Structure 1
């Protein structure tokens, strides 16, 4: 790389301060694209963002067919008005009219799915088919406010069954949990941080722990003036396939640590926490019954036999799950927050000092006659609308309908055909990438999820070329230099791993948003870049490393 291409110290400092997602825009510009350009630009390979290029088609077909049926129902109500005015669906005879609709559209995509969904709700979940169909019709028409505001009644039951299957599985689970439907995982994060602050569960100067590396907003939010939290890093070890050691997890034993936030499977390494580590955290919780846990499990549905920390320590854990990645639905903004009905958050609020409880009583007294008994999850709902607008809170009802249809699609897929197809798709892309780079491909670790892969240049460089080469590379390059060279010279965009809290220079590659041939091209571009640095190292030091060595 020519010396003039290397960022100056001032420019490098500015770039280092950017979030990885903002730095991505600079990399896209360097690759010749606009800051808002999407991965569909065929001349640029943007593996920087995790938006998948696949979508779940069957439940989407079901959504549109359900919408057509609901429109017929709306038009029946005010059929005497030709000006385009409809009304609410009518409960009487709804199931019979739905059966006629199914028979009249036999063979149309989505129809068989809808028939199976209503049957499953009635026969397997034991719910009223008529009540379910009415909730779905009214919901897809968006003809009423979300009632209940936290989540539609039967929708919560069905989504709860989905979360039980995907997040808990066969693990023993005692008790029930409540769900708040939110605008994706990002809204979940925003609401949780805010309500924890408003209810004195965290305050400026308090200490929280973050499982590192982690989705970058978890790093950035605690630093904001709104929170001003002290952060303890619980670091996963790249040499142990991104698992937490017991020594790192023992940081949670410190009573100063109020909460532990983690993403599982991790982002960006895409490795699920081992069963041993989950059990170890659960043991720590027994000694720290006041410890709040938040587990963001958006990638759990890509793992084999996934079990959430929510299953092992349910009373201490806030579960965040998003439908965005698994169903290819980032634009829908579908997420959930779940808490056990007997949880530590409610206990901590009940044990607050009198002055704090008096202040909270006043905060919530306009929405309930018993504000002191308001559950944490219902405080989340109220705070999401600044309390005063609680009566209009809740996720848009068409969004909830699509969430329910996604859930039913998965619940009815007993052989996991959709899940296994996605796993094959993603892992074939990883193989193509690794083969292009020249990295030996190891597919034996059951904790690997592979939605992303992180290329740790220090770890890989030392493994292939030795520590001397790594020391030279770190001394002679800026952290973002490799990424900018990839962007300028190969039109390849990756995200910097350091922005997610990885200790070494690295790049995050999303394996979800490009085709297999593209990942092979990306791998070759990375390989050529590494070969160039090896040649420069050889010239600079007089050594003779083999640039074609397998990493």
Structure 2
């Protein structure tokens, strides 16, 4: 049989390579495939989902009241008079249902703790879950924005920021947010082909690929995290941001795949750089921030310069819902840069947005994001679907009302036990790190081989084995699917394993399978040493 040429796979994105590895892992009928390549969690928040479904039942009944003379299943808009009282009656009648009990507590929390109008909240939730109106405002429903804003600021370590000085744009998950932001930065003359953009590396593979597309043609400046420093960014790397040619710094925090939050020293360095470079745009994807202890986003330390992206997908097990938000401040450095663009560029932008406002020059960047997301001309139908916004609100309330943090503690415990099980069976001591989130783990080939069988063996493996071929052999011989660290910008041979999508015993099985493979290589190493 001809030997497979694995070099053909070296240029594939890890997420495309994954399909080839899955096919190989599934090719053996006598075993179960263990796919640790996906970041999709196998846990989820059930109570806010129950609440959504119960809210939907109430809303459907309310709709049917408007056209009750018809028998064809036709409903109308819910009647506003007495809506909150009827909702409270519904809550009392079905108080034993976990979802309904949560809705009752949520109504009290919104009114008594957040100080929002109960009638307005109920009306927005009922109409929203029915999806019977266009999203108005298109950027985000008003009460929904107020609630989600409170949640995001708390989780991002930015509770001291003025709520009235912030704007949110509800979007179809974090990936849509990034697509919209890059597009609007380009459309508004803030990035152009040949511009430098700094990227914190390692990082989510698509974020390394986007700048190279012919849509952007940007020059990447990698800010390399150091594995010997617990995957923190050395100060010398961060100081690359002082180069005035660097237009923006794009970072995932906590990182993917190292799963480490930027420590206080790194945050201070970035704040110092921004003080010297008030024109620097910070773009931060903080989807894993809710898994971290005492997390602080760049948005908390440099709010005016930061465009924050947060997704509900991982923490609430809601990847299929596509729920995310973009946050900016109303004194945004991005808005100041747009105002300072050359006159001809500003004139072209005024023309672009002229159909939306009589004063397009005053249009905020976040509102330009909304318009650009619908090619401007379709701005009147922009916005995230209202049922999605309602589910987002219920997720946010579920978290804020969990005063003891029991849900968060449970998730942290789940993923950290999985991490411990994998490394225990692998036979390698996994270092604890207060900045680690452990949503993913990077299995360092050299470090693992050195820890198990010494320096000489580790050097032999690096010299004689193709890391991509190792992943295919692992998939073929063990049924375990891992992704190559190289595809995420990791410099040393490594494999990324998600700790979110399998059960604890399965991670132990992965550790055992990897240990067996390493021991087989060690036997080959000893045999080759005996011949030499």
- TM-score, normalised to structure 1, is 0.94
Structure 1 pair 500–81 and aligned structure 2 pair: CA distance change class (3 A): same
Tell me which of 347, 350, 354 is aligned to 1:361: 350
5 Å-filtered alignment, 1:213-232, equals: 213-232=202-221
Give, in whole Å, the separation in 2 of the partners of 1:235 and 1:458. 19
Instruction: Kindly indicate whether residue 380 of structure 2 is the aligned counterpart of residue 391 of structure 1.
Output: yes
| Map of 1:67 onto structure 2 | 56
Give, in whole Å, the separation in 1 of the partners of 2:71 and 2:261. 57
| Map of 1:79 onto structure 2 | 68
Give, in whole Å, the separation in 1 of the partners of 2:65 and 2:201. 56
3-state SS of 1:112 partner: helix
Cα shift at 1:440:
1.1
Point out where structure 2 has 5 or more consecutive residues left out of the alignment.
none
Tell me which of 200, 211, 217 is aligned to 1:211: 200
5 Å-filtered alignment, 1:148-227, equals: 148-169=137-158, 176-227=165-216
CA contact (8 A) 1:173 1:311 kept: no
Tell me which of 473, 485, 505 is aligned to 1:517: 505
CA contact (8 A) 1:95 1:130 kept: yes
| Map of 2:405 onto structure 1 | 416
Structure 1 pair 42–470 and aligned structure 2 pair: CA distance change class (3 A): closer
Instruction: Kindly indicate whether residue 478 of structure 2 is the aligned counterpart of residue 478 of structure 1.
Output: no
Report how many residues are paired: 531
Point out where structure 1 has 5 or more consecutive residues left out of the alignment.
35-40, 545-551
Instruction: Kindly indicate whether residue 442 of structure 2 is the aligned counterpart of residue 460 of structure 1.
Output: no
Cα shift at 1:100:
1.1
Give, in whole Å, the separation in 2 of the partners of 1:293 and 1:411. 27
Cα shift at 1:172:
6.2
CA contact (8 A) 2:31 2:479 kept: no
Give, in whole Å, the separation in 2 of the partners of 1:394 and 1:172. 25
Instruction: Kindly indicate whether residue 418 of structure 2 is the aligned counterpart of residue 425 of structure 1.
Output: no
- The Cα offsets for residues 6-64 of structure 1, whole Å up to 9 and x where unpaired, read as x42xx41x311111111000100111269xxxxxx981100100000011001000000
Cα shift at 1:4:
5.5
Cα shift at 1:82:
1.0
Cα shift at 1:463:
4.5
Cα shift at 1:516:
0.4
CA contact (8 A) 1:290 1:344 kept: yes
Give, in whole Å, the separation in 1 of the partners of 2:244 and 2:531. 52
Larger displacement relative to structure 2 (160-169 or 385-394): 160-169
Cα shift at 1:465:
4.1
Give, in whole Å, the separation in 2 of the partners of 1:42 and 1:161. 47
Structure 1 pair 4–527 and aligned structure 2 pair: CA distance change class (3 A): farther
| Map of 1:100 onto structure 2 | 89
Give, in whole Å, the separation in 1 of the partners of 2:274 and 2:295. 20
Instruction: Kindly indicate whether residue 233 of structure 2 is the aligned counterpart of residue 239 of structure 1.
Output: no
Instruction: Kindly indicate whether residue 525 of structure 2 is the aligned counterpart of residue 537 of structure 1.
Output: yes
- The Cα offsets for residues 143-190 of structure 1, whole Å up to 9 and x where unpaired, read as 000000000011000000001110025566696210000000000010
Structure 1 pair 522–380 and aligned structure 2 pair: CA distance change class (3 A): same
| Map of 2:437 onto structure 1 | 449
- TM-score, normalised to structure 2, is 0.97
